[in-house]
Amino acid sequence: MSASSPGSSSPATTTVKISVVDVNDNAPVFEKPSYELSVHESTPTATPLLSVRAVDADSGDNGRVSYSIAAAGVGSIGGSIGVDIGDLFSIDSVGGVVSLQAGLDRESRDSFEVTVVAEDNGPTDSRKSSSATIVVK
């Protein structure tokens, strides 16, 4: 950019740096829309079962993904009615590792459907998310 004043023969110059700021316009996308695995009912609690991964094309916080388990319906396990899926399975919010949080009893229930949510960390009013389903047999 240059400018000159009236009567001056040489213009003054400077450099202007323009930074384009990312807008949170992309939602996270899971590498797979669904996952399926088999788990033995004797699997110890706190055992990691699998990792899910989602990527977001935005940059900075807008592209940083956090994971959670969606509020799900209740099921029954070991004769106890009203056990929430979130009490049986957990997910590391940063790494996407799904772990077993309670013992399973195949005679009470032989499969579970767990919905995992990936949400970006953009401004609250423009956060975007997607989900994937994990079927545990």
Render pLDDT for 45-76 as a digit per residue (tens, 0 to 9).
999 999 999 999 999 999 999 999 987 554 44
Q: Quick one: how far is CA 114 from the chain centroid?
A: 14
Where do the domains of the chain lie?
22-136
48 closest CA partner among 95, 107, 110, 83: 95
Could you tell me the CA-to-CA distances from 6 to 11, 12, 79, 124 in Å, in that order? 10, 12, 90, 51
pTM for the predicted model, two decimal places:
0.78
Give residue-wise pLDDT tens across range 93-129: 999 999 999 998 888 888 888 889 999 998 888 888 8
As assigned by CATH, the class of the 22-136 domain is mainly beta
- CA pair distance 89, 18, nearest whole angstrom: 47
